[in-house]
Structures are given as C-alpha cells and as structure tokens.
Structure 1
Amino acid sequence: MSLFLIVALPFLGALLPGLMNSAGRSACAGVTFTVTLAAFVGLLTNLPAVLAGEVVTVGVEWLPMLGMNVNLMLDGLGFFFAALILGIGMLIIIYGRFYLSRKDNMGEFFTYLLLFQGAMVGIVLSDNILLLLVFWELTSLSSFLLIGYWKHLPEGRQGARMALTVTGMGGLAMIGGMLILGQIVGSYDLSVILQNRDMIQASPLYMPALILILLGCFTKSAQFPFHFWLPHAMAAPTPVSAYLHSATMVKAGIFLMARMWPVLSGTPEWFVIVTTAGLVTMVLGAVIALFKHDLKALLAFSTVSHLGLITMLLGTGTAFGAMAAVFHILNHATFKAALFMSAGIVDHEAHTRDIRRLGGLRHLMPITFVIATVAALSMAGIPLLNGFLSKEMMLEEATHTVLFDTWWLVPALALVGSLFSAAYCFRLIGHTFLGAKRDDYPAHPHDPPFGMWAPPALLVVLVVVIGVAPFLVQDFVFLVARAVIGGVAPLEVHYIKIWHGLVPALYLSVAAVVGGLIVLALFKPLLRMWDAAPRPEAKTIFEATIAGAVSLARRVIHGLHNGAFTRYAAIMAVTVVALGYHAWRTGTIGPATRTMQPAGAIEIAGWAMLVAATLGLVFLHRNRLLSLILIAIVGLMVSVGFVVFSAPDLAMTQLTVEVVTIILLLLALNFLPNRTPIESTVLRRMRDVAVAVAGGVTAAFMSWHFLLRDAVSSPISEFHLANSYKGGGGTNVVNVILVDFRGFDTFGEIIVLGIAALLIYALTETLLDGPVRARLLNRKPDQPRAGDMHPMMMVVLTRVIMPVVLMVGFFIFLRGHNEPGGGFIAGLVVSIAVVMQYMASGFSWAAARQRYPYHGIIGAGVLVAGLTGIGSWFVGKPFLTSDYTYVRIPPFHEFELATAALFDLGVFLAVVGAVMLSLESFSRLARRAHMPETDHAMDIDPSRDPDDPTNPKLEGGV
C-alpha cells in the first residue's frame, strides 16, 4: 500500500465515526477499528522491503519554491513507530468502546482519536521537515481535543490548555530550529539532511538549531523542566491516557531525537544537554511517582521517568545506547499501555483511583490483578519480563558513561531512578490489589467485560513472551537501531538475552529491586517527610508565569488596542511617516525618468469629486447616513479611475464590492442612532488632524516620486502578460493571476472572507440574548420618511429582474477566464440580486423564502477550491497548479475546459455564502427587533386574496 494512503486513511476515516453515531456505539468503534486496521495492514505490506534494508520513499511537490513537498519515507525506525501507533491504537479502540459511558459522544471521541492517529503517523513517516512540523502541530491540536474531551470537568479543560501551551511553545521553538537546519544544508528533505552530519556540526548555527529542536522534543516528551503538563493531562479519559502517554504523543519527541541522532549526536553539547535532562527527569519523575495517591498520576510520573530514561540513553551518543533506547521504547509501550488500561478498569469498576481507598482488589478483580501485576513487575525490572532486559541494558550503558568528568554520577543516578521505579511499582501492586478485602469501596468492584480486559491482557502476553524469549525481537530491534544510527557508528552484535553473567548491571538491578522493597517498607515515614518538606509546585510556577504574560499583554494591548479607531489610524500614519522618512534619507533616489501627461476634463472632474467627497466625509462624519453616501462616492470615483486607466475587471470588482458593502452597512446602521456622539476634545481632534495630514502628505509624496521613476528591476506585470495565456490558458490577466499565478493567495483570502462572515454571525448571535435582547425587543425604530416602506413598483421590479441578474452573474462567471468577470464578481452580482429582495420586500418576507445553509455554502466553496488544488498532486504537480485543454462537441465550436474554473467556482460559492450569511445575521436582528407590519411585503399575486382565511401565508407575509 502507498505511504500516502497509510497517512491519509486515519484522516479520511475521521469523517466516519460522527456519521455512525446514530447507528450505535459498536458501529462507531467498529468503523474506527476498521480504518486503523486497514492502515496497519497497509503498513505491513511494506514490511518485506523494510526487513530487506530498503527505504521506501514517495513524494509529490507541494510548494517547491519554499522547499515544502509531501515526501514520505519508511525505514526501520518509521515502521517501528507507525506499527506501535496503529497496533496499540486498535487495542485502545476496543478498550474505549467498553470504557466510555452511554452519555459520552463516541463519534466525537473516535473522530478526535483518528485525527491524532493520522498526525502521529504523518510525523514518523515524513521525509520533509516542514511537513513534519505540520503534523507536529496537528498532534498538539488533536491531543488538546482528546485531553479536554470531558468538557464538563474543569481539570480536563485546564490540563488540555496546559498541554497545548507547553507543547505549542516548544513547537514554535522547533520550527526555528528546523528552519535553521534546512538553511545549513540547503534542503528541507530529511533524507538529505541526514546525509550531511559534518556540514551541520561544523556550522556556527549548529548550537542554536540544536537547542531549538531539543526544546521542541523536551516539551513534547515531558522532559525536565517541562514535565509538569503530562500529569495534568491525566484528566482525560483513560483510553486517551493509555494511547497518548504510552506509545504515541509523548514518544514524538523521543522519535525526533532518534531520527535526528545521526546528525545532531556525537558532540559534547548533545551529550551534556540530552543526558543531563534525561537523568534529572528519570530521577525526579520516579521520586514524585512514589508519593502520588492517584493511580493515573502515579503512572503519569512513571511515564515521565521512563521517558527520561530513554532520553538519557539517546544522549550518550553510542550505538549500544541507541539500541537500548529502541528496545525500551518497545517494552515501555507494552507494559505502560497495559497499566493505564488496568488503572482505568479499577476506576471504572471501583469508582475511584485513590490508592488510599483501595486495597484487597485481588479478591474481587482477579483478572485485572494478574494483568496489572505482571505489567508493574515488568516496569520494576523483574527478570523474565521485558522491562528487566531493557532496564539492565540501560544500567550497562550507565556504567560506561562519564558525565562532568565524574565516573560514578550516571550509574548512581540511574540506580536511584531504578530504585524508586521499583518502589512505586511495588506500591501500585501492594496498596491496590494486595491486603484484605475492604467493605468501604465507593462501588462494588468486579472484573470488567472481556472486551475491556482483553486489550491489556494481550499486551501483557507480549511482556512475558519478550521477557522469556527476547531472541524473537532481537533482529527487529537491531534493524530499528541501525536506522537510528544511520551508519554513523558501528552497531556491534550485542545479543539481547536474559543472562549476561555477573556484570555490574546485574548488581545494580538487584540493588534497585531490593532497595525498592526497603523504600516501600519505609513508605509511611517517607510520606510524612515528603508532605512536610517545602517544594515548588511546577503547576503553580507555570500558572504564575502565564498570568504574568497575560498581564503584560493586557497592558500592552490596552495601550494600543483600546477600541478607538483614531488610535489605530494614528499608529499607521506615524509608521508611514517614519518609514517613509527613513527610506528617503537612506535610499538612493535617481532622477525622474517619466514625464507627466496633461490631465483632461474627465480626470480633473473625477479628482475634484474625490477630494470633495473626502473633505465632506472629514467634516460631516457625525451624520452616519451622509458619511456612508460620501464613502460610496469615493468608491465610485475609484471605480471610474479604473475605467479611465483601462482596467474593467478591477472597475467591476470595485463597483460590486461598493454596492454590497454599502448595503450591508446601511442595514447595520439601522440599529444605530442617526448621529455619532462627540467623544473627543478639541485638542485630540487637532492632534488627529496633524497626524492625518502628515501621513497623507508623506504617502502622496512617496507615491508621486515612485510614479515618476521606472522600476529598478523588471516588473512582475511583464511576466504575467507574457504567460497568462500560454501558462494559464486565459486572456483575462487579472483573473489568471487570481486563480493561477496567485491562486494560493486567493485561497487564503476566501478562507479569511468566510471567517469574517462567521464572526459577524457569532457577534449578532450574542446580541440575541442577554441585555441586548431586551433592548432589541424594546427598540423603537425611526419613523419612515416614506408612507410605504415597500412600494409596489420596487417589489415587482426586483422580483422580475432577479432571474435576469442571476443569469448575468452566471454569464460573468463563465466569461471570467478570458473576459472581464470571474467567480468573485459573479458572486457579488448574485448576492446583489438577493440583497435587493431584502431591500424591496423586507427582512421577514425574504428570510422566509431563502432559508439556505450559508455556513455550508462557505464551507463548500473552500472545499471545492481546496480539492481543486489537491487534485494537481495526483498528476505530480504542486498544489493549485492549473491545467486546460480545448474540446469540440458538435455542433458547438471548440471551447476551453480549465481546472481554474473549478477553483473559481469555489471562490464564487465562498463569496455568495459570506455575503448572504452577513445579510442573514442582520436580518435576524431586525426580526428580533419586531419590525413594524409595514415591513411585510405586499402580495403581488392577483390570483390570491390576502384576506381569504384559507390562503396559506408564510411568516412575514406572502
């Protein structure tokens, strides 16, 4: 199966759980499991190539000018992590089906899970670091949704925000590091970067790149001092904790360190930073975990500790350390996912995770007891279980690692971490399951259904099998380790086996287990000491830091963004003056190369009207209606200017935009007083005059001089004129620029337009409730100056010409690629036709007949435009590359078919949807304000008697 399909399947499958919600919980889980299974099977089809040592690669250009291409790569490391993500994902899906209650929206949960799954698979298979960054941020966003899935829990929302903030900040740092790395090498392709170790490490930018990338890795994988977010993410449902915090999200940073190991490791900086962070995290996490009373909190800090262990192994920079890290990643994923699911079972059946309220559960939950005990003993490092093997390899590596010129430091800290790790594992078993049965459990505990205990049981089987017969996975671990090392260091054959003889690592393992038992025996006095000892709370420090940042931001924003438009305009004007003055003083200004042309009567008249309208606007701006008319005159004069300079496309766009915006503003002004109150002093007005004059004079002065001089380089317009027809298949250069040359800009603009319409909808929606609603209900509209608000002539005329205007809009849309027009103008023309119905017949009449899902129309427009761009990928072209051809269908003449027309259709739909959603938003306000009965349009159908009681009427009249 193609790597593209493996990555795409979870994202495409994310559409299905929501649709299956009504079919039941099992259908939701079943379709999610099927999608994950399909991706897993697709991954396995590439296993023979991976085992043969091949690197499977596929790629499609996306933004080649930026070096951002959709390149995917599958080697041993990528296969290993993708198999963990998808394999454990299937078990989590089965477990989640039985764990979630009937009150939980299972479709929503599995949608978020598949989005996260797809992002994680994208990370481990990316062969372009910019693409990897996209998936990296997607994991942060999707994990935010998963952690905060139980929206009714304040701790869930807080944990989700904390995780997003910490990992998001680390992600921003990592973006900088990756960009530096790409600049050093000259390519953003990971396969190219991994071949340039010497160039990267010799660069003076190596250290900044290393620090920034490690910040991203450390925040994602909860390394000290960023470890605090992970325990607070435990407010998520247990399936989320078992998935994100055993095999997936927290391993993303580990994966990236392993992926970058060939080019970043082997330097003193890497060794000191990574090894130290790993050691501190391992010891700190283990110590804190011992004293946690919440089962999931204990497991969360144990995860922090084991992530530190893996980080330390990668930090040593040796081939053996990398191999031990790979092996422990596998082992940790198995026993930790099983333990999280076991903790969820206890919570689900006993209705508490507080260890102090548990004990003796082995009598009531024997199956869960066996599963949890085997997994915990593996985590403690007990022989014949897989955790013992990789932990002993870690201790072996520690005995050969010298940090800060101190030979005993790393072994000592590794021993302390292992000792406390064994202690909290023994506490988990003893204080939760052993002892006498209690009679004060919050609920009656019992083993769960088969579907709930089978997934962790399967993982425990792997724990035992690998622990007893490690040779089964030995070759695969070697394969993955070789992918990590990348040929930088020789990987000697270190057999993974149970008995290595009487080596120092064995003595350290025995000391850790015995020490763990001693610590557990002394737990009560140690707990009293722990509770009495002063210690900083990472959460408190984080919240204080965030509060300080918010306070600083608030002071800055209140100083600049105080809601007064005059201040914003003043800042922009001062900026124009300052930058213009700086450019004039420091730049090289050559002599004028163009001569001025005499102005004709039309130009002078238009200029005079423009100046008159602008000055009138300055002095008469308190009259809102008059100001709007003057603004319309300014826009009209600009349109005339475009006509004079032979730019009909721009003139049509400007004119239609003016019509739509003026009408919408008129509707908005309907809810405001006729005049703007005086809110500024004479002194402020004089200051504003000075700033405005300075800004205007500077802009005019600079524009004047630019117009008198030729461009230094060849203008881009020459390229557009030369390639519009040859490259884009259209003779309307403006339209070809919008849908082809600068199609990506247009795509972003219709998204912004849609967001603006949604914001208008959201703002007006808030006005329909609360105090504003009362004011709307009590509103007394101004008395109309005309006796009839909806004259017969206006009503008849708008209804007759509406189909004509729609046909004109359709015609403008079709001709736009070769003549003035296009999707944007056509969308505005169609919108004007509908707006006229609201003006002529009233809000209620029009709203009752035009109940369209405008949100969906906006979405459809963006989707059509986006899919048009994505379609070019399937023929190996960059995103939004257009194509065209000519066809002849008798008896018609030959005509052109262009993919740009589909993109223009998306623009058309987005524009219509945005304008109509804005109009509908104002319409709802008007209807809520109880417009008078004269707002209802008359019935112009003479065949129907409006007084006939049997005559059906729509809301607001017929």
Structure 2
Amino acid sequence: MLTLVIVLPLLFGTAACAWAGARFGKRAAAVSAAAVAILALGLLLTLAAPIWAGGAVTEAAQWVPSLGLNWQLRADALSLFFATLILAIGLLVITYASYYLGPTDPPGKFYATLMLFMAAMLGIVLADNLLLLIVFWELTSLSSFLLVGYWNEQTQARRGARQALIVTGVGGVVLAAGALLLGEIGGTHQISALLAQGGALQNHPLFSWALVMVLIGAVTKSAQFPFHFWLPDAMAAPTPVSAYLHSATMVKAGLFLLLRLHPLFAGSSLFEMIALPVGLATLTLGAVIAIFKHDLKGLLAYSTISHLGLIMTMIGLGTVEGVVVAVLHIFNHALFKAALFMSAGIVDHETGSRDLRHVNGMMRYLPWTGLFAIIAAAAMAGIPFFNGFLSKELFFTATLTAPHPLVPILATAAAAASVAYSFRFIHDTFFNGEPGPLPNPHPHEPAWGMRAPVVLLALLCVLFGVMPWLAEPLITRVATAAAGAAVPELHLALWHHPGLHVAMSGLALVGGGIAYALLMTNRFLHRLDIDRLFGRRAGRWLFAAAIARLVRAAAWITRRTDTGSLTVIVALVWMSALALLYFTVPWPKTVNTPAVPEPSFATLLVAFPLWLLVALSAGALLFWHARRTVAVLLTGVIGLVSAVAFALLSAPDLAMTQIAVEVVSTVLLFLALSFLPKRTPAIPFRRRFLRGAIAVAAGVTVGVLAWWLLVTPRESISWYFLAEALPGGGGRNVVNVILVDFRGYDTFGEITVLGVAALGAWALFVGASRAQDRARRTPQWIEPHSHLLRVATTVMLPAALLLSIYLFLRGHNQPGGGFIAGLVTAAALLLVYLAHGFAAANQFVRAQDGWRFARTVGAGIAIAAATGAAAWAFGRPFLTSAHGHPHLPLLGELPLASAALFDLGVYVTVVGATLLLLATLAAGRRNDRKTEEIER
C-alpha cells in the first residue's frame, strides 16, 4: 500500500497529467492530478488505525542488497503526519493552480512536474532506508528545479532554479556521504534499525563526521543560514509552486530528516552546538530582512526562512519538549503560510504586481481575499485566538530552558520582527491609502474556486486557535514517534499559567507594532532598499561571485586545453591516463613469470598472419592518415581482424558483436565525413613528433600493463559463470547470461549511457541548427542515387531484419542476443540511408527529426527498468531473473526466461540510439544544404 502511495503520483500521475494537459487542456490536467492526490491520500488514511494505536506499517523489497540499498518503506505517526500534509496541501495547490495558470502556460508540464515532486517528497517521508531516502532527496532537487524554472523564458526563473539546484544538490551529495557513514557506523542503512540503537552510535569515532554531514544536507535543504539565500530567489516560480514548497514540502524536508534521526542525535553536544546557533541566526535574520522586503512574495519568503529557523532552534535544543514545539509549529506554519502565499498570488494575479509600495488599498477591491489573508497573517504574527499563538507560546517557554540566556532574548526580538512584517503584509496590501500605478488598475475578486483553498486554510487557523485541544492527540503521537520516547503530557489551551513567556509574548506584540509604526513614519520603509544596503555582503551575491570564479577558472582551463581539436583532447586524456597509471598502479619490482607451454606451430601459423595484418594496417595509417576515407577503412580492417581472433579463441558472441560494431561505426563515420574536407590539413613536424611520442608512450604502457596482467597469477571466477549459467540464469550461452543476468546492472548502465550519449548528440545538433550564427559548412558527400544499391536494399532489408529476430530469440542459449540483434537491425536500416539518401530514408522510417528515435531510446531503457523492477513484486532484488520450462499446448516444453524482456530493452535501445545518430546527421545535412542555398 505504501508503495502504491508513492507510485501513483510518480508514474500514473506524471503520465496522466502530461497526456491530459496536452490533449484536453488545463482543467483535464488538474482533474487528473487531483484524482491521483485524493486516491493516494485515501490509501494512506486507510493505514491510520494501526499507526494511531502506536504501531507502524512497513513494506520491503530487495533492490541492491549488496550495497544496502533496498526498497524499505515505513509509516509511523511522524511519516503519516508529513505524508498527509504533502497530499492535503498538494490537493489545495492543484485546485488553486487550475485558476492561477494563464492560457499560455503549459498545464501538462506543470501538473506532471508537480506530481513528480509530490512523489519525491512522499518517498522522503516514507523511506526506511537511508540510501533510498537519498534517491528521493535528489529527486526533489531535480523536480523543484523544473518547478522553479517553469517560466523558463524568464531570466530570473532560470537563475533561481539553477541556484536552488546547486545549493540543495551539493547539500544532497554531502548528505549522501553522511548517510554512508551512518550505515557504516550502525552496520545497516535501515533507518528503524539505526534508531533502535539510539545514542549508542555517538561513541563511534566517525559519528561526528556523519553528524556534521547530515546537518549540512538538512541545513541546505531547509534554507538555514548561511544557505538561506536560494529560497527567496526561488520566488520566480509560479505562486502555487511557492505555496507548496514553503508550506509543506521542500523546505520541511531537512527538518523532517532531523526529526526522523532525533533519537540518534539527541544528547550530542556537537549537534546542539551547531543546530541551535544556526536556527537562532536563521530565525532572527529572516525576520528582520522580511520587514524591509518590498516584494510581497519576497516578504513571505523571508518569513518562511524565519519560521524554519524557529523550528530548527527547537530541534537544536535536543529535548523532547523542543520536538513537541517543532511538530506543532510545522503543522501551524503549513496552514497559515499556504494561505498567505495563495493570497499573495491572488493579489499578483489580479493586479499584475507584487510591489508593496503600489498594491495598497486592496481591501476595497478584494474584500474576501483580504479578510482571510488577515486571518492567516494574524496567525503568523502569533496573535491570540489563532493557531500561531499556541506554538509561539510554547516556543517562548522552551527557550527559557535553553543553556544560554541569549536564546530567549533573540527569540523575543525575532517574534517582534514577525509581528512587524505581518502588520506590513496586512497594512501595505489591503489598507495604506490608494493603490499606486498597477499593470491592472481594476482588480476584482477571482473565482471562488481560487479563493476556496485560502478560505479553508484560514478557517483551520481559527479552528485550532479557538479549540487548540483538537490538535493535542495528533501532536502528541507525532512528537512521540519523532523523539523515540514518551513526551510530556500536552495541554493546549487558550490561556496557560502566567509566567515569563506571557511577558515575552506581550513584548513581541507591542514591540513589533511600535517598530512597524516607526518605520512607516513618512513612508521611510518604502524608501529603504535593503538589497542595496547589504550589497556585496548578501548571500546571493557571494554565491554568484563563487560561481563566476568557477566559470572563469573553467574557461581558463578550457582555453589552454581545448583548441577544438579532437586530437588534442585525446592526447590530454591519454597523458592523464598514463599519469594515473604510473602513480596509482602498484607496479611490481620483480615479476615471477609462470611457466607456460610453447605455442604450437598451428597456433603460430594462424596468429602470425593476423598480427602481421594488424601491424600492416596500423603502419599504413601512418602514411595515409590524411586521407580520411582510407583511414576509416584501415581502422575497420583492424576491428575485423580482432573479430577473427575472437572467433579463433572460441568467443563467437564477441566476434559477432565486433563485426556488427565495425560495420555500423564505419558507415556512421563515412556519413559523418560528409561534414569534413576529404583530406586532413598538413600538420607541422613538431606537433607530429609530440603526438607520436604520446602514442608510443600509450602503446608501450598498455602493452606492459597487458603483459603484467597476463603473467600475474590470479584466481579466475570464470568457473562460477560456466557452472551457474544454466541452473542460475536458465541459459546455455554464458556470455548472454552474464550480460542480462549476472551482470545485468552493468548492462543496464551501459544502455543508459548509450541512450544518453545519443540524446546528447541529437540535442546538441538540434540546438546548433537553431542558432542564427551557425558555422557555414559545405558538405562534400553527395546524396546517393545508386539503383543497384536500392534494389539490393529491397532484398537485404527484410532478410537482415529476419536475421536480427533470429539472433535475438536464440541469444539466451546460442550466440546472439539483444545487443547483436540491435546492431544487425541498425546496419540494415543504414542500408536504407545509403541507398536512398537522408531525406527519403527519414520519410521511410518516419524519423520526425529524431523525435521518434528519442522516444524509442526511452522506451528501450523503460522496458529494461520495468523488467528489473518486476522482481520486487516477488520479493527479489532489482533485475533478478526468473526462468523455467512451461509446457504449452501444441508447442510442448519451452525454455523461457524473464531476462529475454531485459534483452528486448537492450535491443530497442541500441536500435533507437543508432537511428537517432543517423537522424542527427540527416538534420545537420539538411541544415547545411539550406545554408548553402542561402549563400548562393
């Protein structure tokens, strides 16, 4: 059930929203997204009974057990609380966005990405494996990058998305290192098993390193000082995205992680030494800056930073009381902050502006929006009878127990600042005279569907403010699950016993109101530009300066290493590889060469001619390398000789693969030569000498390394594959069984790399073809019109396709397989391009400028991934294959293996990648012809 809660938005939600948005428009995409969210929320709530009773619901399936990465999910009260917030607030955001998005905004793109982000957040809060949590953690960074940069035509959106991705991405890498260390310390990556060990892990010498790394990951994700600057710049996102990210999802992920791991970190002086000051700095800095922000969403963004700092401060206390306050404020903050962002979005939507110096007097135009925005702002300020007042009172009480007297002082000052910016939000937006110049001078209330989420959230702020005891059971159970121990009995009421916390609350309310009144004297606040005041001391500027230095350093290295010559690049790669080999390989001082039998005369009779042919071909390249066509042919000869050697050494699969690779690569190289001159330009002697020296050094080093590997005694594992291929993999072709079963991960990674490389080449060529200042090149290769080749292709194409099917079907037990069959199919279709030319061939295969083959590559990788994931349904690790010999009517007993489906994914990917490269060359050729015609 937990798996389904994640898979619904991850797969079905993204696909359904993308399809519905493209086919039927915004309303259909919104309905699809809402249906997925409601269904996932319903499934989740069916598990609430055992969790409410203090238990937990778990699901597990092996993924990569050797690495400790398994599909382990666990839902306790803390996970259920966060998952419910993610889905419930997400449902409101989906409804709100259906009215917010404009007619030109692509709805499928928005809702599909939102579904992806929702699934990633659900994965974080439900994961019971640290490594699995990291996978979802990085997925939130990637999906939020797409959401923040949704309006990618805007420079600010691209900059904000890039900044958020870099900061949270780097934090995620550090977090991954911390997770690996925790797994090493605790002997497992299962979170519940680590929590069971409690504070015992703190005695390990690596614990401090793991703690600091986890904190860095959490701090960057939750926009804590000094990494807070990415969050305000993410305001370039559509307001529904801002409401979702700030209230219940991305910025709460780091706080959730610290609550999840609280039993491990509680009592650690290092944890309190880092988390508490970071939280206080974030709380105070965010609150003060928020007062001076003139952008409506900017003010709310810095207020979010401040409230995140409040929660971090409570977690940093390291006490169960702090955990209770943190959980309560996470709940309260989600309600009023989502309402405030949606209210700001309505103002922006109706007026076309978010400038607090201009959007004044909106109460006259947006009375209902103003009323419920005031309620939410009052909750944010911590005014009595609203839910924010309760968590603020408990926050003040908890700070009084802090180890340093500065903590309650800063807490009071930050609370006063929060009152000031809340007053500014209300006063500047809905009162404060007449509006200034606005893009839309006649705003009006939006449709009730757009206001409904704001109304609901604001009413909940009042409900839990007036009847706070309704939240007691929820907060108690969630805090107990987070702390890993019983929490003090919680009594939420409108009035608690008098004490210093009451005085702190009153001082914050009065002081915040007075501070705002003084700042608004003669509209001083409107004239103050805090961005100019902070200038180069702002985190945003420091980040931009650091990135600029990195770019300049990269440009400096590029100017000195990348001359545009592939030869230079290859030389640099070889020089680096040689240095790496020299300094890292443990070269033995002496080698005991084992006694080997002398080769027979028959062996020499075969081997010597092959060696001689390779040597002659390599030597001929030295003389005719300037003639590109001859050079390609000689390189192909060397490859074919290697294929013959494989065949003589009883490796038919390798021989067939080598031949197919040589044929396809040679033809592709010939097609690519159409963009180059027929001869290589003359090269000065000094440069040729340098290249020759590098080539000789590389050849000698590789030869010595090969000799050393051959003469060094080592234990082989070939016997294992030979013995287990049939009983373990269900096939007699050991090579194929290794590729699709024993080393299936390697193969999956290889086809993924192949697909990404083809997509990258295609994307680069498409981008270059769209540029206005493309280099003007005149191709030398003429469109072929050989009637003989056309007739031959008509006969050979179906024969080659049948051969590829035959090789694919026999591959598990005889030489063949998906990779060889894919290359044969690609070679057959290459004939079509050679015989008919690019234009006619593209029409024949319906290339659609490469889009069809790009989808083919994706389909192949998806088939392979789905085959591997199917093993989870049977409690097996990813890519575990099944095989058997079922008896079918008429056909009898058939040897079947699920690895054949994985091999099908390999086949489809190879065909798609090869044809995508062909389509890329075709697109380049067509663009060059257009250029040539224009020049004429």
Alpha-carbon distance in 2 for matches of 1:25, 1:694: 62
Out of 597, 612, 624, the residue aligned to residue 628 of structure 2 is: 624
Corresponding residue number in structure 2 for 1:656: 660
Moved more, 595-604 or 613-622: 595-604
Deviations 1:734-777 (A, max 9, x none): 1011111111111121122222222332344355455787845x
8 A contact 2:19–2:108 mirrored in 1: yes
Query: Taking structure 1 as reference, are residues 529 and 842 closer, same or farther at Cα in structure 2, changes over 3 Å only?
Result: closer
3-state secondary structure, aligned to 2:196 = coil
Out of 579, 593, 596, the residue aligned to residue 594 of structure 1 is: 596
Corresponding residue number in structure 2 for 1:604: 608
Deviations 1:761-816 (A, max 9, x none): 2344355455787845xx474789xxxx5444433222123222221111111111
Moved more, 526-535 or 175-184: 526-535
- Note if 1:703 corresponds to 2:668: no
5 Å-filtered alignment, 1:661-810, equals 661-679=665-683, 681-711=684-714, 714-766=715-767, 768-769=769-770, 775=776, 779=778, 781=780, 790-810=785-805
Out of 808, 814, 824, the residue aligned to residue 813 of structure 1 is: 808
5 Å-filtered alignment, 1:13-32, equals 13-21=13-21, 22-32=23-33
Equivalent position amino acid for 2:825 in 1: V
Displacement after TM superposition at 1:440 (Å)? 5.2
Alpha-carbon distance in 1 for matches of 2:558, 2:528: 46
Corresponding residue number in structure 1 for 2:400: 399
Deviations 1:234-288 (A, max 9, x none): 1111111111111111101111111111101211111121010010110100100
- Note if 1:65 corresponds to 2:62: no
Deviations 1:476-520 (A, max 9, x none): 100000011112xx4221312221221111110000000011101
Query: Taking structure 1 as reference, are residues 27 and 587 closer, same or farther at Cα in structure 2, changes over 3 Å only?
Result: farther
5 Å-filtered alignment, 1:445-484, equals 445-484=443-482
Deviations 1:658-686 (A, max 9, x none): 0010011111112321110124x322322
Query: Taking structure 1 as reference, are residues 60 and 868 closer, same or farther at Cα in structure 2, changes over 3 Å only?
Result: same
Equivalent position amino acid for 1:484 in 2: A
Alpha-carbon distance in 2 for matches of 1:54, 1:443: 56
Alpha-carbon distance in 1 for matches of 2:874, 2:458: 46
- Note if 1:832 corresponds to 2:836: no
Alpha-carbon distance in 1 for matches of 2:67, 2:800: 43
Query: Taking structure 1 as reference, are residues 825 and 570 closer, same or farther at Cα in structure 2, changes over 3 Å only?
Result: same
8 A contact 2:358–2:436 mirrored in 1: no
Moved more, 756-765 or 212-221: 756-765
Query: Taking structure 1 as reference, are residues 750 and 470 closer, same or farther at Cα in structure 2, changes over 3 Å only?
Result: same
Equivalent position amino acid for 1:694 in 2: A
Deviations 1:684-727 (A, max 9, x none): 3222222222221222123223323431xx31212111111110
3-state secondary structure, aligned to 1:363 = coil
Alpha-carbon distance in 2 for matches of 1:884, 1:534: 67
3-state secondary structure, aligned to 2:70 = strand
Alpha-carbon distance in 2 for matches of 1:107, 1:805: 41
Corresponding residue number in structure 2 for 1:75: 76
Corresponding residue number in structure 2 for 1:3: 2
Alpha-carbon distance in 2 for matches of 1:832, 1:902: 22
Alpha-carbon distance in 1 for matches of 2:750, 2:125: 32
Query: Taking structure 1 as reference, are residues 82 and 791 closer, same or farther at Cα in structure 2, changes over 3 Å only?
Result: closer
- TM-score w.r.t. length of structure 2: 0.94
8 A contact 1:471–1:496 mirrored in 2: yes
- Note if 1:886 corresponds to 2:881: no
Whichever structure has more helix as a proportion of its residues is: 2
Moved more, 76-85 or 589-598: 589-598
Alpha-carbon distance in 2 for matches of 1:744, 1:412: 56
Displacement after TM superposition at 1:37 (Å)? 0.6
Moved more, 93-102 or 555-564: 555-564
Corresponding residue number in structure 2 for 1:947: none
Alpha-carbon distance in 1 for matches of 2:616, 2:452: 81
Alpha-carbon distance in 2 for matches of 1:142, 1:581: 42
8 A contact 2:74–2:128 mirrored in 1: yes
Alpha-carbon distance in 1 for matches of 2:175, 2:505: 37
Query: Taking structure 1 as reference, are residues 770 and 298 closer, same or farther at Cα in structure 2, changes over 3 Å only?
Result: closer
Moved more, 909-918 or 871-880: 909-918
- Note if 1:860 corresponds to 2:864: no
Displacement after TM superposition at 1:577 (Å)? 4.5
5 Å-filtered alignment, 1:553-572, equals 553-572=554-573
Displacement after TM superposition at 1:618 (Å)? 2.5
Query: Taking structure 1 as reference, are residues 821 and 520 closer, same or farther at Cα in structure 2, changes over 3 Å only?
Result: same
Equivalent position amino acid for 1:506 in 2: V
5 Å-filtered alignment, 1:420-439, equals 420-438=417-435
8 A contact 2:808–2:816 mirrored in 1: yes
Query: Taking structure 1 as reference, are residues 752 and 498 closer, same or farther at Cα in structure 2, changes over 3 Å only?
Result: same
Alpha-carbon distance in 2 for matches of 1:530, 1:349: 26
3-state secondary structure, aligned to 1:640 = helix
Alpha-carbon distance in 1 for matches of 2:772, 2:383: 66
Alpha-carbon distance in 2 for matches of 1:458, 1:780: 65
8 A contact 2:591–2:712 mirrored in 1: no
5 Å-filtered alignment, 1:110-259, equals 110-259=111-260
Displacement after TM superposition at 1:208 (Å)? 1.2
- Note if 1:486 corresponds to 2:459: no
Tell me the matched-pair count: 915
Deviations 1:60-83 (A, max 9, x none): 000001100010000011011001
Equivalent position amino acid for 1:412 in 2: I
Alpha-carbon distance in 2 for matches of 1:363, 1:558: 61
Displacement after TM superposition at 1:827 (Å)? 1.1
Equivalent position amino acid for 2:906 in 1: V
Query: Taking structure 1 as reference, are residues 521 and 348 closer, same or farther at Cα in structure 2, changes over 3 Å only?
Result: same
Out of 618, 642, 653, the residue aligned to residue 638 of structure 1 is: 642
Displacement after TM superposition at 1:366 (Å)? 1.6
3-state secondary structure, aligned to 1:656 = helix
- TM-score w.r.t. length of structure 1: 0.92
8 A contact 2:676–2:779 mirrored in 1: no
Corresponding residue number in structure 1 for 2:933: none
Query: Taking structure 1 as reference, are residues 422 and 52 closer, same or farther at Cα in structure 2, changes over 3 Å only?
Result: same
Deviations 1:453-482 (A, max 9, x none): 110111111111111111111011000000
Alpha-carbon distance in 1 for matches of 2:655, 2:885: 30
The unaligned stretches of length 5 or more in structure 1 are 932-958
Equivalent position amino acid for 1:108 in 2: K
- Identical pairs, percent: 45
Alpha-carbon distance in 1 for matches of 2:218, 2:589: 44
Alpha-carbon distance in 2 for matches of 1:832, 1:321: 67
Corresponding residue number in structure 2 for 1:943: none
Corresponding residue number in structure 1 for 2:358: 357
Alpha-carbon distance in 2 for matches of 1:92, 1:144: 18
8 A contact 2:823–2:910 mirrored in 1: yes
3-state secondary structure, aligned to 1:670 = helix
Equivalent position amino acid for 1:920 in 2: A
3-state secondary structure, aligned to 1:507 = helix
Query: Taking structure 1 as reference, are residues 194 and 568 closer, same or farther at Cα in structure 2, changes over 3 Å only?
Result: same
Query: Taking structure 1 as reference, are residues 29 and 720 closer, same or farther at Cα in structure 2, changes over 3 Å only?
Result: same
Deviations 1:319-368 (A, max 9, x none): 11110110000001101111111111111122221111132222222211
Corresponding residue number in structure 2 for 1:897: 896
Corresponding residue number in structure 2 for 1:954: none
Query: Taking structure 1 as reference, are residues 59 and 439 closer, same or farther at Cα in structure 2, changes over 3 Å only?
Result: closer
Alpha-carbon distance in 1 for matches of 2:437, 2:678: 71
Deviations 1:73-131 (A, max 9, x none): 00011011001100111111111111111121112111111111110011000000111
8 A contact 2:826–2:914 mirrored in 1: yes
